[in-house]
Structures are given as C-alpha cells and as structure tokens.
Structure 1
Amino acid sequence: MRGIIFRWIISAGGLLLVSYLFDGIKVASVGWAFIAAIFLGIFNAMIRPVVFLLTLPINVLTMGLFTLVINGLMLFLTGKLLAGFSVEGFWSAVGGALVLSLISLFANSSVNENGRVDVVQMRRRSSGRWERLK
C-alpha cells in the first residue's frame, strides 16, 4: 500500500513539474494534480494496453517511439476529462508524457516487489570506490 501511495505522490508531483515546464499543460491546484494522477493511472492501466495493441504495427515500424505518442494521448485524454487539468497541443502532450515517463521510471525503480520504498545507501571505500550497503 505504501508503494502505491508513493507512486501516486510522485505522479502528482510530476504533473505539477510538467505544468511548470510546458506552457500548454495547466494544473489548477495541488488537489487537481492528485486527481489527475489517479485518472492518468487508470487510463494507463485500462486504455493504454488496448491502444498499444491496436497500434502495434506502427510501434514496431517506429522502433517503439510511437509509445511516446500513446503516452501523450493518455495525458491529453486526462486533460480533456478533468476541469482542473488541461493539456493544449500535441507537442505539449508528448513532451509532458516524456517527462512523466522519466519521473515514473524513477518512482518504479524506487519501489521493490513488496511495494516498499527502497533506500539505497552507499559509502565510499578507502580506495575511492563506492559500495552499496546492505
């Protein structure tokens, strides 16, 4: 459960960051960022796999780059359905989706199989190399 909440908070923060970076993406408030993160997660879980399968030949031809367009479409759809979150323009949606994908990659790599947040501790050895603490 902690892992889901952690991902939700990171996604909402990512939406706020994306709205700051791109003029075409606007979030009315922090509360709307959390609501938009929930809807975006639901769309990515339910609609995105169907769209991905339908566009699989295009995705293969573009060597996976069409996935950014699909992610942008999910962000655009979220913006069209929510009053406090808006996405204007194709390039804003694709750019925002790219940044959100990188943020999501960080969040998913920080949560282990059990849904717990992993904290990696490192220390520097006398030889100058870094080692991971267990």
Structure 2
Amino acid sequence: MIHFLLTWLVTAVSLLITANIVNGFIVTNFTAALIAAVVIGLVNAVIRPILIVLTLPLTILTLGLFLFVVNGISIWIASVLSPGFTVAGLLPGLLGSIVLTLVAGIINFVVERVVQS
C-alpha cells in the first residue's frame, strides 16, 4: 500500500514538474495533479494496450518509434478526462510524455534510495 501511495505522489509531482518544463502541458494545482495521476494510470491500464494492438503494424514499420505517439495520445486522452490537466495538442503530449517518464524515473530512483536506507 505504501508503494502505491508513493508511486501516486511521485507521478503527481512529476506532472507538476513536467508542466513547468513543457509548453502546452498545463496542471492547475496539486489536487489536479493527483487526479490526473490516477487517470493516467487507468488510461495506461485500459486504453493504451488497445491502442498498441491497433497500431501494431505501424509500430513494427517504424521499429517501435510509433510507441512515442501512442504515449502522447494516452497523455492527451488522460487530459481530456481529468479536470485541471490540459494538453494543448499532440506535440505537447508527445514531449510531455517523454519528460514525464524521465522526471518520474529520476524521482522514483531517489525515493527508492531514501526508502531503502
């Protein structure tokens, strides 16, 4: 349960940091980031696998690079479903998903080191 809460908080903080880095990627406040983190998790669990299967030929043709576009679309769908979280198009969604992954990875690394010690 603690791991779930830490992951949720890390994702919310990562969303806020990403919103400060990427233009067109807007999170209004921390509550909106918490809600968006849950919605992103649900979209990644339910909708993203369907998108991956539907775009498999294109993903194979581009040697996997189209998965970046699928990630951007997933972030955009989450922004449509979340109040206070806005992505102003596919390019901010694409850049936002890349930055969000990097920021969340770094924060997760730091949190895991702190929790282990």
Which of the five TM-score ranges fits, normalised by the shorter chain?
0.7 to 0.9
Return the alpha-carbon distance in structure 2 between the equivalents of residues 91 and 7 of structure 1.
Answer: 26
Decide whether the 8 Å contact of 1:75 with 1:97 is kept in 2: yes
Return the alpha-carbon distance in structure 1 between the equivalents of residues 78 and 30 of structure 2.
Answer: 16
Q: Which residue of 2 aligns with 1:3?
A: 3
Structure with greater helix percent: 2
Greater relative contact order structure (CA < 8 Å, 6+ sep): 2
Decide whether the 8 Å contact of 2:39 with 2:81 is kept in 1: no
What percentage of aligned pairs have identical amino acids?
36
Q: Which residue of 2 aligns with 1:46?
A: 46
Residue 119 (structure 1) shift: 2.5
SS in 2 for 1:83: coil
Which consecutive unaligned segments of at least 5 residues does structure 2 have?
none
Change in Cα spacing, 1:104 to 1:59, as seen in structure 2 (3 Å) is farther
SS in 2 for 1:119: helix
SS in 2 for 1:63: coil
Residue 93 (structure 1) shift: 0.5
Which consecutive unaligned segments of at least 5 residues does structure 1 have?
111-116, 121-134
SS in 1 for 2:4: helix
Q: Which runs of 4+ in 1 moved over 6 A?
A: none
Counterpart of 1:69, as a letter, is V
TM-score (norm 1): 0.77
Counterpart of 1:44, as a letter, is N
Return the alpha-carbon distance in structure 1 between the equivalents of residues 60 and 46 of structure 2.
Answer: 21
| Equivalent pairs, count | 115
